[in-house]
Amino acid sequence: MVVGRGGYAMSRRHILRLAGTGLGLAVVGAGAVGCGPEGEAVEPGGSPTPGGGKNGDPFTTPPPGTAPEPLWQQNAANSNLAGDGALAVAGDVVLVSGDPLVGRDAVTGEQKWSRAGVTTPGAELVLGGGTLYLASGEYDGDVVGLDPATGKETWRSRLGKKYEQPRPIAADDRHVYVLAGILEKDFTSPDNVIAAIDTASGRIVWREKRDSGTEEYGITAATVGNRLVYTDYRENVTVRDTTTGRQVWTKKISRSNHRRFAVHGELVIVADGQRLRAFALADGKESWSLAASEYSTFSDPHVLDGVLYASDTARSLRAVDPATGKQIWHNEDLRDTATQAWQFAKVNNTLYGATEFDKDGGVHAFDATTGKLRWTYNDRTGDIQQWYVVAAGKRLAVMHGKKLYALPAV
């Protein structure tokens, strides 16, 4: 494997093709290494490296086409069970799901707090109204709220003894939305409910039984104004009224969509196999649809700064107007230079994409105006576990396997 000018791993096939045009030696000879330290911590007070600095700040800007070095590196208790909700940023604190649940300073990487046994294994980090909501680790049916700055408990409520393993799926300034099994006399829970709990009083605002046969797991949810939107393993997208719990509409989609969807204005946008589809929040009417590259399927869409970004299994990347579905740009030249990204973050005019299940993947940096690949950061551990990336001010919080990094957003 050779690292090329853009900071990415180049295939032998690609190098030979370039050599045939006389460009191979120039590209490979640039030697811009897009990889970080191999399992070594960046010690506070160490000498600055490209992208790195003393005590995490300030940092220097690496040469064009070169991936930055981590500002700091720490171990993480990541279990890879929390999916998209395993890594989050609240203010200047990086939150990592696991046992213990940990909050770290985004600038220095120092541990600000740690809570062992506070929640259930694989709990997603649900933030709303300045509070982190989690299922109680005591399996007592409670839902707890923590201050993300300190890790201290600030809130607690419950649905009642009739419900099994309630867990938060979304939150806003008024409510935390909870999913739970309905406990039968034989201690099974074939059916489940979705409920809203008032974050001020802890009282149940509404509680609605979901359709028979729907599952408790594989749920991804978000709130948009007075609408709660969620998708599930059973290939549905559903919208409810946040005030009453009334189901506004539900629609079948052809492929399981349980990890991430995007919202923009009055639209919810889902990856439905070979198409991106936008539905009106008001009535579920399809507003627009966009096809992927031939023989490929879309990954998770993200709306960042008013632009929709989505990759596909052909390793191409699109920027789309989320209101109309009109394509802004489409980079089809990434097959030999980038791995399909499943999670995106954006800082200024750089789009960052985290990959999964590829030892040569990592965090890609793209020019948000053109989609051109700028560099790729890879820690060279060989771990095929998925990468995570979340913007943290002028930094990126990056997680891979059992390691947590901070990269400068440059």
pLDDT (tens digit, 9 = 90+) per residue, 295-326? 899 999 999 999 999 999 999 999 999 999 99
* Cross-sheet strand order for the sheet of 327-331: 302-304, 307-311, 317-320, 327-331
Q: Per-residue pLDDT averaged across 191-219, rounded?
A: 90
- Over 80: is that where the pLDDT of 21 sits? no
Residue ranges with strand state E in 188-254: 192-198, 204-209, 220-224, 227-231, 236-241, 247-252
Q: Pull the structure tokens for residue 53.
A: 């600095």
**Per-residue pLDDT, 187:** 78
pLDDT in the model for residue 343: 95
pTM: 0.84
Taking alpha carbons only, the member of 332, 271, 331, 263 closest to residue 300 is 271
Kindly write down the DSSP assignment for every residue of 196-215, as one continuous string. Answer: EEETTT--EEEEEEPPTT--
DSSP H or E stretch at residue 367: strand 363-367
Q: Which pLDDT band, with edges at 50, 70 and 90, does 61 fall under?
A: low
Residue 57: pLDDT band with limits 50, 70, 90:
low
Question: What are the structure tokens assigned to 171, written together?
Answer: 């939150």
Q: Which residues pair with 320 in a beta bridge?
A: 308, 327
Residue-level pLDDT at 396: 97
Q: Which pLDDT does position 12 carry in this prediction?
A: 38
The mean pLDDT of the chain is 85
- For residue 46, the 8-state DSSP code is P
> Average of pLDDT values for 362-369?
96
Determine phi and psi for 54, rounding to 5 degrees: -75, 130
pLDDT band at residue 95 under the 50/70/90 scheme: very high
Decide if pLDDT at 25 tops 70.
no
Is the pLDDT reported for residue 18 higher than 80?
Answer: no
What span, in angstroms and rounded, lies between the C-alpha atoms of 280 and 224? 12
Instruction: Assign 6 a pLDDT band (cuts: 50, 70, 90).
Output: very low
Instruction: Give rounded-to-5 percent helix, strand, coil for the chain.
Output: 5, 45, 50
For residues 77 and 138, give the distance between their C-alpha atoms in angstroms, rounded to a whole number.
Answer: 19
pLDDT at position 55: 54
Select the more confidently predicted residue: 11 or 80.
80
Over 60: is that where the pLDDT of 7 sits?
no
Can you give the pLDDT at residue 293? 84
Q: With b meaning 16 or more CB within 10 Å and e meaning fewer, what string describes 262-276?
A: bbbeebbbbbbebbb
Backbone angles phi, psi at 15, to 5 degrees: -65, -45
pLDDT in tens, 222-260: 999 999 999 988 788 999 999 999 999 999 988 766 678
267-274 long-range contacts, CB within 8 A, separation 24+: 267/322, 267/323, 268/224, 268/229, 268/237, 268/239, 269/301, 269/303, 269/308, 269/322, 270/231, 270/237, 270/301, 271/297, 271/298, 271/299, 271/300, 271/301, 271/310, 272/298, 273/297, 273/298, 274/298
Q: What is the DSSP letter of 64?
A: T
- In this structure, what are the phi and psi dihedrals at residue 175, rounded to the nearest 5 degrees? -135, 155
pLDDT of 188 reads 81
Partners of 368 in beta bridges:
none
Say if residues 177 and 171 touch (Cβ distance below 8 Å).
yes
Token pair 């419900």: residue? 163
pLDDT of 202 above 50: yes
DSSP 44: T
**82, 105 contact by CB (below 8 A):** no
> Span 75-95, mean pLDDT?
88
| Helix H or strand E encompassing 114 | strand 111-115
20, pLDDT greater than 60 = no
Lowest mean pLDDT across 31-35, 164-168, 188-192:
31-35
**Rounded Cα distance, 281 and 100, in Å:** 38
- Tell me: pLDDT of 211 over 70: yes
CA atoms within a 13 Å half-sphere pointing along the CA-CB vector of 174: 14
Q: Where does the pLDDT of residue 29 fall: very low under 50, low under 70, confident under 90, or very high at 90 and above?
A: very low
Q: Is 401 left (phi over 0), alpha (psi -120 to 50) or beta?
A: left
**pLDDT top residue among 47 and 228:** 228
- pLDDT of residue 359 exceeding 90: no
Token duo for residue 115: 């809570």
For residue 19, what pLDDT is reported?
39
For 257, half-sphere exposure in the C-beta direction (CA atoms, 13 angstrom radius) is 31
